Structure 1
Amino acid sequence: MAMASRGIAQSTAAETSPKKQLTIEAIFAEGSLTGRAPETVKWGPDGSRVSFVQREDSGEHGELWYVDAATGEKKILVSEAKLAMLSPPPEKIKDEREKERLTRYHVAAYSWAPDSKHLLFDSQGQLWLYDLSNGTAVQFTSAPEPSEDPKFSPDGSHLAYVRKHNLFVRPISARDEKQITIDKDESVLNGEVDWVYAEELGVRSNYFWSPNNKDIVFLQMNENLVPTYPITDWLPTHPKVDMEKYPKAGDPNPSVRLGVVGADGGKVKWISLTKETNIYIPRFGWVRDGLLWAEVMNRAQDTMDLYFIETHSGHSRKVLTESSPDAWVNVNDDFRILKS
C-alpha cells in the first residue's frame, strides 16, 4: 500500500509540473536539449590521460578537465578563472571574423606539449605556456600582431608559429625568436592557410616539423593575381570593410610551391613537383627525415597525383595517380604513412 501511494504521488507531481514549450530557439541554442558537449578532447602525449574543456550551456563558464585513463578519475586541470584568460569562449570575442574562424574551423583551445607537463594556449593571438606542476602561465609571445597555428617541435624544445605571413621559431627555454621565412609582400603567405584552402579543401595548417626537429616543410601561396573581395561587418555602429583575396569561378587561384627551411633559418630549398602551375597542393608532410610526400591536384579537381620527394636533392617521384574524369577527386585525410 505504501509503495502504491508513493507511485501515485510521483505520478501526480509529474502531471502537475509546468510543461515548458519547445521552441525553435531552444532547439538551436548553445547546449540545446542534451547539454553542451565537451570541447577540444585530446589525449596527453604520454597516453595516461585525456583532457577536454567542459562549459555550461551558455558557454560563458568552463574548466579544463582530465580523466585518468587507468583509474577513470576525473580532475580539473585548469580552473575557470585561468581558462577565461587563457582561452576565452567565442561568445566573449568581439571580433566577429575571429569568432567565425574559431568556431567554423574548430580551432583548438589548447595544445599539449610533448613532455605532457605543459599546455600551450592561444589567447586571441598571444601564446601562453602553462605549467601543470605549479598551475602558472607564462606569456610566450607579446608582439602586436597575432601568432597563429603554433606547433611544438617533436622533442618539445622549440615552438613554431605564423605571424604576418611568415614562419617564426623560438626555443621554449629562451627568448631568442627567429624569423625563418622573410617575405614582405602582403600577398605572399608562408605556412599560412588562405580562404580557398581552408574553405574548399579543408586545410587547417600549411607547415610541418621534420621528425628530427631540424627542418620545416611549408607551403608558400602567392595571391598577387587573386582578385580582392570586400567583406563588410555591419554589426558595429560604424561598419568596417575587410578586403579578402577571393577567387570566383574562373579567377586565378594562388600559385603554390613547397619549401623546406632549417629550424634555425637559412636559405629555403624549393621543391619542384610538376611543370603545371595551375594546381593545388592540398596535403603534404614527412615520410621520414629527408623524405616528403605531397598530393598535387589539377584545377579541374578530377586528377590527383601522389609524389615522394627527397629533400636533399629536391628530386621528386610520382608514385600514384587517382582520376575521375566524369566527376571529381575528393580531398580527405585518409592517407597515412606506416612506419617501416
Structure 2
Amino acid sequence: MKKLLLSFACIAFILSSFAQASSYPSILRWLDDQHYLESKKDADGKSKIYKVNAKTGEYAELSAVTYRDEVNNALPEGFKIDRYTESTTDYNSTAYIKDKDLYYYSRLNKKFRQLTDNPGQEQNPGFSPDENRVAYTKDGNLFYIDLDSGLEHQLTTDGTDLIYNGWSSWVYMEEILGRYTRHKAYWWSPDSKKIAFLRFDDRKVLEFPIFRHKGLRGELERTRYPKVGDTNPGVKLGIIDLETKKITWVDCNCDEDKYVAFPFWTPDSKNVIYQVLNREQDDLKIYVADAVKGDKKEIYREQQSTWVEFFSDLYALNDGFVIRSDKSGWRNLYHFDFEGKLINQITKFEWRVTAINNIDEDNGIVYFTGTGESSTENHLFSIKLNGKGFKQLSKKEGTHRFMISPNNKYFIDSYSNWTTPSTRELYTMKGSLVRELGSRKGADASKPMGEVKYFTITHPDGFDMPAYMVLPVDFDPNKKYPVVFQIYGGPDSKNVRNRYISPQGHYMTNNGIIRFAVDHRGSGHFGKKRMGEIHRVLGKYDLADYTYAAKWLIEQGYVDETKIGMTGGSYGGYMAALALTKGADTFTHGWSAFPVTDWRLYDNVYTERYMDDYKTNKEGYDQGNVMLFAENLKGKLWLIHGTMDDNVHMQNTIQLVDRLLDLDKDFDFMLYPGERHGWRSIKAKHSSRLQKEFWLKEFGN
C-alpha cells in the first residue's frame, strides 16, 4: 500500500495545438542540456515528437508520430509493442517484449530485430549506460544480450518459479523497491561492465490464492504473499562481472528477518552501497561492498524508537554519499564519507526535505525539493554541500514538480496553487524565468464552481490541521449542508496541498454538498515526532483527528450533523469503513473502496513498519480492526472491491460483509470481476457513476 491515492497526479498531457497560452504541453524528458522533447498534436490531430531548444523555444520535428506509433509502424503486420518498454534517453533505441520474446528497434535506421526466440518469458529489459547491451530476466534468471554480436549471455542458472535473480518478490516490489520497478531488481554499473542484482527465494513464503472467474472452471492465481508474522522471502545481493561471468555474493548476513535493498553504485564502479533493515524496521545499516571481493564495511547506522525507512534516493558521490534522514524530527540532508564519518549536516531545517533531485559534485551544489515553511507546498532549492548558499529556486506558491536538465542548466516547473490551474514554465538554474510553456488557465472559466477555502483547525493536542473545503454554489451560511470528507489518510500521506482544485469533481458542490479534506497528525505536516504518535495504533489518532474536524465543522453552524460522509480507497477505504463503525456516532455515510478491514490480513512489510507484530501488539491491532466495531454500524455504507486485487485482497471486504450479515446490518456492496487494486475503463466509469448516484441520492439537493 505504498501510498496509493484515489486521485493520481497526472505527469504529462497532450497539447491541443502549438504553444498557445491556454494549452498544457506534454513534456517527455530532457534530451540534453539544451533541448527537451515534447509531444504535440498537429492540425490533423496526429501526435508528433519535437526537439525544443530551451533557450530559443525553436521546434524541430524529431518524429512524425509518437515514438510508440513509430515503432509499431516499423514492425511487421500483427506486431505491436508492449505497454512496458525500455528506451534510451535520446529515444534512439528501444527494447520491448512481444509474445514473450525480446525485440530491439533503432530510430536511426528505422529497423527492428528480434533478439530472442525461445519459449521462456523475457521481462524487464534494461539498457546498459553505454547502450551496447540489454539485460533482462527470464525464468528466474538474469541475462543480457550484446547488441553488436546479438549473442545472449546467461548470467545466473539457479532460477526457478520460486527463485528469482534480478526479479523481485511481490512484497519487495510493492513495499520496498516500488511498483514503478515492475519487479526489476538489477542495477548496471556506470561503466557497463558489471550488474548488481538481488536474488529472492520465495520457497518459504506462504501462498495466497486469487480466483479468476473465467471459462467453465475458472483459474486459480497463487501469489507468494507474506502477511503479518509470516516468513519473508530470502534475499541475497550479488555482483556479476560480465567479462568473467563470475558472481560475487556480498556477505550481508541476510536471513528472513532482514530486508536488503537499494544497491547504489559508486561513480567509479568499484563499490556498491546497499542497505539492510531489521524485521522490526527500527534499525537500518548502510554498507559499502567491494564489487570484486564482496567484502563489506558498515558506514552508517540509524535506530529509532518508531520506524526507520530505506533511503531510496541515497546519492553516491566520489567522496561519500548524501542521505535524507528524519532522525532529527524533520527530514534533512547529511553528507558522509565512505568511512562513515559525518562530513556535514547540509541542512538543519524544521521542515521537510522531500527529494534529492540532483547533485553537481564539481561545483558542490545540491538541488533538492522540500516543503519550505509551508507544509502544504513544495519547492526547488539549492544549497552547497558545506551547508552554505541556500537558495529557493521556485518562487511561486503552490505544489511543484521539476524536471532538471542533465547538467543543471535549466529546469521545467510544473505547478498549480489555490488560484492557478496547472502551469508549466522554464527557468534557468539560477531561478530566472525563460518563458511560460503552457497553462490550463481559462479552461475552467465556463464551469460552475463553488468557493474554495483553505484554513487550519487548531487541535487541542497542540497542532493546526491543514484543511480545505469547496462550498456549494450559492452557499448560504444560514443553511445546513451535508459534507463529504475526501481522504486517503495513510501514514505520511497528505490530503491537503496548495494546488488547484479542478471543477471536474464539483458535482457535489453543484448539488448542495460541501467537499472537505483535512490532514491528521501522522500525515507528514508536523514532522516525525507527530507522525510517530500513530506508531502501533493505526486507526486511533487518524480517525480521532478526523472526528475532531467533523465536530469542528458542525460547530460552524452550516453543516448538517446528520449527513457527515467519508469517501476513500485503499487506506482511504479503511478510514471510511472505520469511520462508519468505530466512528459511527459522528460519521453517517461512507464509500469504502478496496479497504483493509483487519491489519492482520495485509502484507507484513507495510503493516509491521507501523504496527509491529500482532503477537506483541494485539491491543493496537484490535483497536483498529473494522470487524470488531461492525456492530456499531448505523449509517449507510457502500463497499466495493476488485475480485483479483493482489494488494489489498478481496478477503478484507468479504470478511467484513460476512460479519455485517451476521449482525443483520444494512449496507451496499459491489464486486468488480477480474479487477486489481483500482480499475480503469468501463468498470471505473461504472464505479464513478455508482458513487455519484450514492452521494446525490443521500446528500444532494
TM-score, with structure 1 as normaliser: 0.72
C-alpha RMSD of matched pairs (Å): 3.5
State the Cα distance separating 1:197 from its structure 2 match: 0.8
Tell me which residue corresponds to 2:308: 329
Tell me which residue corresponds to 1:20: none
Structure 1 pair 142–297 and aligned structure 2 pair: CA distance change class (3 A)? same
Tell me which residue corresponds to 1:65: 49
Select 1:131's aligned residue among 92, 95, 106: 106
Residues 204 and 233, structure 2, Cα contact 8 Å, conserved in 1: yes
TM-score, with structure 2 as normaliser: 0.37
The one-letter code matched in structure 2 to 1:282 is: A
State the Cα distance separating 1:237 from its structure 2 match: 6.8
The one-letter code matched in structure 1 to 2:288 is: F
State the Cα distance separating 1:233 from its structure 2 match: 2.4
Tell me which residue corresponds to 2:28: 41
Does 2:36 correspond to 1:50?
A: yes
Aligned to 1:297, the other structure's residue is in SS state: strand
State the Cα distance separating 1:69 from its structure 2 match: 3.5
Aligned to 1:192, the other structure's residue is in SS state: coil
Q: Could you tell me how far apart the structure 1 residues matched to 2:115 and 2:259 are?
A: 34
Select 2:189's aligned residue among 201, 205, 210: 210
Residues 207 and 225, structure 2, Cα contact 8 Å, conserved in 1: yes
- What pairs with 1:144-293 in structure 2 (closer than 5 Å)? 144-203=119-178, 204=181, 205-234=184-213, 239-264=218-243, 266-274=245-253, 277-287=256-266, 288-293=268-273
Aligned to 2:315, the other structure's residue is in SS state: coil
- C-alpha distance after superposition, 1:4-45 (max 9, x if no partner): xxxxxxxxxxxxxxxxxxxxxxx999x9xx87988893333x
Residues 121 and 127, structure 1, Cα contact 8 Å, conserved in 2: yes
Q: Could you tell me how far apart the structure 1 residues matched to 2:140 and 2:88 are?
A: 25
Q: Could you tell me how far apart the structure 1 residues matched to 2:195 and 2:139 are?
A: 18
- C-alpha distance after superposition, 1:181-213 (max 9, x if no partner): 001432111010221011111342311122232
Structure 1 window deviating more from structure 2 (230-239 vs 254-263): it is 230-239
State the Cα distance separating 1:231 from its structure 2 match: 1.9
Select 2:296's aligned residue among 316, 323, 326: 316
Residues 295 and 304, structure 1, Cα contact 8 Å, conserved in 2: yes
Q: Could you tell me how far apart the structure 2 residues matched to 1:226 and 1:65 are?
A: 46
Higher relative contact order (CA 8 A, sep 6+): 2
Tell me which residue corresponds to 1:111: 87
Task: Mark the runs of 5 or more structure 1 residues left unpaired by the alignment.
Answer: 1-26, 56-60
Q: Could you tell me how far apart the structure 1 residues matched to 2:116 and 2:25 are?
A: 28
Does 2:54 correspond to 1:75?
A: no
Q: Could you tell me how far apart the structure 2 residues matched to 1:324 and 1:253 are?
A: 22
- C-alpha distance after superposition, 1:99-129 (max 9, x if no partner): xxx7xxxx5x44116xx47221424554332
Structure 1 pair 123–277 and aligned structure 2 pair: CA distance change class (3 A)? closer
Q: Could you tell me how far apart the structure 2 residues matched to 1:43 and 1:144 are?
A: 37
Task: Mark the runs of 5 or more structure 2 residues left unpaired by the alignment.
Answer: 1-5, 16-23, 320-701
Seq. identity, %: 26
Tell me which residue corresponds to 2:96: 122
Aligned to 2:174, the other structure's residue is in SS state: helix
Aligned to 1:198, the other structure's residue is in SS state: helix
Q: Could you tell me how far apart the structure 2 residues matched to 1:282 and 1:193 are?
A: 10
State the Cα distance separating 1:235 from its structure 2 match: 5.7
Structure 1 pair 311–184 and aligned structure 2 pair: CA distance change class (3 A)? closer
